[in-house]
Amino acid sequence: MLARRYSTIARRTGRFARPLGFLSLMLLSGCSAHGLSRQFLLFRPAGPLSGVDLRFTIFDVAVMLGIIVPTALVTTYFLLRYRKTNMAAAYDPTWSHSTLIEIVVWAIPLATVAMLGYYSYKGTYAVNPYDPRAIEGASASAASARPVLPVDVVTTDWQWLFIYPKQHIATANELVIPRGTRVLFRMTSATVVNDFFIPNLAGMIDVMPGMRTEQVLVADKLGTYKGYSANFSGGGFSWMGFKTHVVSQSRFASWARSVQRSPRHMDYAQFNAFAAPTKNVDGKTYTFSHVSGRLFDQVIKGVLMGKVYTTPLPPAGAA
């Protein structure tokens, strides 16, 4: 009787085994390291901050899998072991308490929360933009020897403006930084809250109107990386991205000199024209020379004084 029953179960399971196996192979075929790196930018760290993010992400996933996988296996075991049709399973109607089970049920979650809490604390301070230990590393003197490049970041609806105070230049929707340089960002918004995010280089941080936030990064690898806003901010949000070009020191110096010859200039009056709501569908970039050294502070002051940039509404009856 039991043999016939297990034979029936085996036949029914066999009907689904091949299709499920084929589907699993199809799904796994797209999970190569190269495929993951293209789809998930966090898997291609190009700097110490993004490297820390990746390590702690892997650690968090590993800890959670260490709970989920054994739980699933034990649950499956008990479902099979103590199913109604298994007459050989032990049955004890007087059972009510087990000290061992209580220890396991409480000790494992407590240990997990404590471990995740500790490493969350370490990870948060490692990428803290005001004191990034990931960049400093073991040697503070080595970190202080890095050249420093200040960049002011201003967001609008729906563009990015990057101001280089030392060079008196600015770029729109394009960021260029030299490799191996500590880049210090001061960020604010002329309109609504946005999130500054370059997955390959640095984590998300809010860019808020009327306030100043900071971020810092070091890029160790030459290349072009995708940056964007990670906070929904209206109709042009879908195109609110920018390219981050990591170049050599000499090429950065040459690029800065070429931007200093740009015919476009930028002061606060010209910024107000630039900040008019614009859907940058074509991904256009601009360069500006003779940028006012007070522009960043003027944008913050303008927001605090109630300056707004109204999005034009379509005429009544328009489709």
Return the CATH number of 146-304, one of 3.30.1330.90, 2.60.15.10, 3.30.300.30, 2.60.40.420.
Answer: 2.60.40.420
Amino acid identity for residue 219 in this structure:
A
Domain boundaries, the chain: 41-86+98-139, 146-304
Which residues pair with residue 171 across a beta bridge? 162, 287
Mean per-residue pLDDT for 177-206?
A: 91
pLDDT in tens, 224-238: 999 989 888 888 889
pLDDT reported for residue 143: 52
pLDDT reported for residue 21: 45
pLDDT reported for residue 295: 94
pLDDT reported for residue 137: 59
pLDDT reported for residue 46: 78
Which residues pair with residue 175 across a beta bridge? 244
| pTM of the full structure | 0.75
